[in-house]
Chains A and B, each alone.
Chain A
Amino acid sequence: MKSLAELAAIREKMKDKVVLREGSGEIRVVVGMATCGIAAGARPVLNAFVEEVGKAGLADKVTVSQTGCIGVCQYEPVVEIFEADKEKVTYIKMTPEKAAEVVEKHLKGGKAIQEYTISNAIS
């Protein structure tokens, strides 16, 4: 059974970390979670990002957050990636599988997957 003692252990482990708040990351992953996004499947996409970023140990560097309607409902689920000094990358029609790939190749590897981006769809 999950116990509250495990939470206390997490707190203990985090004590030494200077940065407690996950939100100071250099990279921001923003998932559109308005009615349009949710209906199109944004919830499992968000979960996949949280899970994969956590598993890859990128939580200090990458913040996963949620936003409202980005304005391109026909392309939902939409995910935007913001990184200092770089142009925003907008991924469209995302799935949990694509999310895992983006974490691996883009967030870890530093290379956007053009095939999944909005610029690929409209060009």
Chain B
Amino acid sequence: MKELSLNILDIAKNSVKAKAENILIELTETDETLTLTIRDDGCGMSEETVQNVMNPFYTTRTTRNVGMGIPLLKLAAEQTGGNIRITSVCEKDSPENHGTTVTAVFFKNHLDFTPLGDVISTVTVLIQGSPDIDWQFVHRLNGDSVELNTKELREILGDVPLDNYEVIKWIEDFLKEAYESVS
């Protein structure tokens, strides 16, 4: 992947596939690190599956719907000296409180750090593709933060779906302005 924001798009799609109703994408930057967290309340995975998703060669032979996404994110993190961690609670084991959290740490000053790229585009594409999910996006940087919560937008929009063209445009412009004010 040319940009980390493309990995984020790819991994968040797993949460969509896991039938999540709420998905959080959180980026926290310090001078040295970028920490990415994607947390969903989807169906979760068994412990065995969590182990398997890390390995593209083992898993593709035995499990469907598990592919290169996590291994690519793992590679992107580890090549900077960082790491990835996945915790998951399976719906079968815990019907009330389940879901998956993927956390990846990147060292920004490492030569092999992939730039974040167009994260706004990733957010709008995710919302456009799954307008019924509640998306929360938080990017903490420079002691400030860029935040978007589709629950708040929905309260104002009423019946108008989030994938309405003008709404998507509004979200894009809103995030652009928010980034300008923290840079």
Contact status A22-B163, CB under 8 Å: yes
Main secondary structure of the interface of B (DSSP, over half): helix
Contact status A2-B177, CB under 8 Å: yes
Contact status B157-A7, CB under 8 Å: yes
Contact status B157-A50, CB under 8 Å: no
Residue of B nearest to A44 (CB): B121
Residues of B within 8 Å of A33, CB to CB, are 9, 13, 125, 129
Contact status A2-B1, CB under 8 Å: no
Main secondary structure of the interface of A (DSSP, over half): helix
A50-B128 contact in complex given A6-B170, A11-B160, A14-B160, C-beta closer than 8 Å: yes
Contact status A46-B128, CB under 8 Å: yes
Residues of A within 8 Å of B86, CB to CB, are none
A8 to chain B, nearest CB (A): 5
Interface residues on B, range: 35 or more
Partner of B161, one of A7, A20, A47, A65: A20
Tell me if B145 counts as interface (CB < 8 A to partner A): no
Contact status B156-A64, CB under 8 Å: no
Residue of A nearest to B175 (CB): A2
Contact status B166-A35, CB under 8 Å: no
